[in-house]
């Protein structure tokens, strides 16, 4: 058993994990939640919104340019701090531009700026993940990553909650400016950061191939392939389930004010609880058992979507229907938060400090494969299957990742 004390959660490094989580989550949920809601409210069809998820390709491909973040120190202020500064400034400039676009007549421009947003966000993630791995000791990974995921999930309350409420009373340009304003506190923290110590490999001419070779040489080929497959499949079900969550709520006849108000409250405490439970599970049970427990909760949380889809769409949204939405969002926030905490911890534990940015970007890029590629067909699947059968499919797709736990993290095996 590991120690679980107040000081293990409340210290400077854990506070910095709040910063990394919020910085990483805000632009991602801007793409995942606010833009699809904007498109759906402008009567863009589900198939188009589904294929729109392909703008997330930079999250999948970020390992291609991740080595440069281990090679170049922008403005000579640090490999991590410099890239964080560049990407955050880019996001502050880019996000408000969507308020000037019309999705009916300017879809090409919408896609272009969405790709740019995803590229900046993915590049920021490379620097954030490397920074967090470099400041946390191995025994701090569980608590640090649980807090990171907690802040990451809570950041979704801005584009998926407050911004939707704001859009009910204001223009979309004002809504995007409002959302962008939350990036400024992160920028101030970045300016105050102290660059962490690095343990780069001496050969910095080519980092990608050595990083890949080091991972495959670390254990048997079958174990390495199993780990990569698990990283890709562990969150496959819930990733597809949440790909069209906001358009799904809209199709159930909830308006953006109701969705925003409920998401702001119903997601907050389950998100916090899920993050802390994820860290406590790792601390008390070890990573292997934490992956099993969180995986089952993550998979069964999709049943909430099945229930809501089978009851809706609603002719009238009253207190009962609003309570249903609260339950669905709350359970989803709890399950996804716990699963994400364990997956990020597994990735961190399989990252060598000599190749922090490159390997972390490769592993998280692999985890983004289903979210990016399969989710692009989410609109086609939901329209052809119907919402209820679509979510049953999501539950079925969660099973392969759970089966891989027998190989990657056996319940009875001590780490």
Tell me: pLDDT of 1 over 50: no
Q: Of 53-67, 264-278, 370-384, where does mean pLDDT reach its minimum?
A: 264-278
pLDDT in tens, 212-268: 788 888 878 888 889 889 998 998 888 888 888 888 888 898 887 888 778 667 777
Q: Of 103-117, 173-187, 266-280, 390-404, where does mean pLDDT reach its minimum?
A: 266-280
Tell me: pLDDT of 6 over 60: no
* pLDDT attached to residue 123: 94
Tell me: pLDDT of 49 over 50: yes
* pLDDT attached to residue 310: 92
Work out the average pLDDT over 27-43: 89
Work out the average pLDDT over 320-326: 90
Would you say 33 and 156 are in contact if contact means Cβ atoms under 8 Å apart? yes
Q: Verify cis geometry, omega within 30 degrees of 0, for the bond prior to 313.
A: yes
6-408: CATH topology is Growth Hormone; Chain: A; (1.20.1250)
Which H, E and C letters describe 281-338, residue by residue? HHHHHCHHHHHHHHHHHHHHCCHHHHHHHHHCCCCCCCHHHHHHHHHHHHHHHHHHHH
pLDDT in tens, 105-150: 888 999 999 999 999 999 999 999 888 888 887 777 777 877 887 7
* pLDDT attached to residue 196: 79
pLDDT in tens, 54-112: 888 898 888 888 888 877 888 888 888 999 999 999 999 999 999 999 988 888 999 99
Q: Of 32-46, 54-68, 271-285, 325-339, where does mean pLDDT reach its minimum?
A: 271-285
* pLDDT attached to residue 264: 63
Classify the phi-psi angles of 286: left when phi > 0, otherwise alpha if psi is within -120 to 50, otherwise beta: left
DSSP state of 159: I
**Structure pTM?**
0.72
Q: Give the integer Cα–Cα distance in Å for 56 and 79.
A: 24
DSSP state of 206: -
In which element (H, E) is residue 93 found?
helix 81-94
CB burial of 138-154 (b: ≥16 within 10 Å; e: otherwise) equals eebbbbbbbbbbbbbbb
Tokens 């907050």: give the residue: 268
Averaged confidence pLDDT in the chain: 84
Task: Please report which confidence band the pLDDT of residue 405 belongs to, taking 50, 70 and 90 as the band edges.
Answer: very high
* pLDDT attached to residue 296: 92
Would you say 214 and 326 are in contact if contact means Cβ atoms under 8 Å apart? no
Classify the phi-psi angles of 219: left when phi > 0, otherwise alpha if psi is within -120 to 50, otherwise beta: beta
């Amino acid at each position: 058993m590991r120690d679980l004390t107040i000081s293990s959660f409340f210290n400077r490094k854990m506070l910095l994990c709040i910063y990394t989580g919020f910085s990483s989550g805000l632009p991602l949920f801007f793409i995942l939640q606010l833009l699809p809601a904007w498109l759906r409210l402008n009567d863009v069809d589900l198939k188009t919104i589904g294929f729109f998820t392909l703008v997330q390709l930079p999250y999948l491909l970020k390992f291609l340019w991740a080595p440069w973040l281990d090679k170049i120190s922008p403005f000579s202020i640090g490999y991590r701090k410099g890239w964080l500064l560049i990407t955050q400034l880019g996001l502050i400039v880019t996000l408000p531009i969507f308020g000037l676009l019309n999705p009916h007549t300017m879809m090409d421009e919408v896609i272009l700026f969405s790709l740019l947003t995803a590229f900046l966000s993915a590049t920021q993630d490379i620097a954030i993940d490397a920074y967090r791995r470099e400041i946390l000791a191995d025994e701090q990974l569980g608590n640090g990553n649980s807090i990171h995921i907690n802040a990451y999930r809570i950041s979704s309350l801005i584009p998926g909650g407050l911004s939707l409420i704001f859009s009910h009373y204001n223009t979309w340009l004002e809504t995007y400016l409002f959302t962008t304003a939350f990036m400024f506190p992160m920028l101030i923290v970045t300016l105050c950061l102290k660059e962490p110590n690095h343990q780069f490999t001496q050969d910095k001419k080519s980092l990608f191939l050595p990083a890949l070779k080091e991972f495959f040489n670390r254990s048997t080929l079958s174990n390495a392939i199993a780990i990569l497959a698990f990283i890709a499949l562990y969150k496959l079900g819930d990733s597809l389930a949440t790909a069209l969550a906001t358009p799904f709520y809209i199709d159930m006849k909830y308006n953006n004010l109701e969705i925003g108000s409920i998401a702001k409250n119903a997601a907050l405490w389950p998100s916090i609880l899920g993050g802390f439970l994820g860290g406590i599970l790792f601390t008390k049970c070890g990573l292997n058992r934490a992956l099993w427990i969180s995986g089952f909760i993550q998979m069964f949380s999709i049943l909430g979507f099945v229930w809501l889809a089978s009851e809706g769409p609603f002719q009238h949204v009253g207190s009962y229907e609003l309570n249903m939405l609260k339950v669905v969002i709350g359970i989803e926030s709890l399950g996804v938060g716990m699963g994400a905490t364990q997956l990020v911890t597994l990735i961190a534990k399989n990252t060598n400090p000599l190749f922090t940015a490159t390997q972390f970007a490769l592993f998280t890029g692999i985890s983004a494969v289903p979210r990016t590629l399969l989710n692009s067909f989410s609109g086609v699947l939901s329209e052809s299957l119907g919402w209820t059968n679509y979510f049953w499919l999501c539950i079925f797709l969660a099973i392969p990742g759970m089966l891989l736990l027998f190989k990657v993290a056996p319940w009875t095996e001590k780490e």
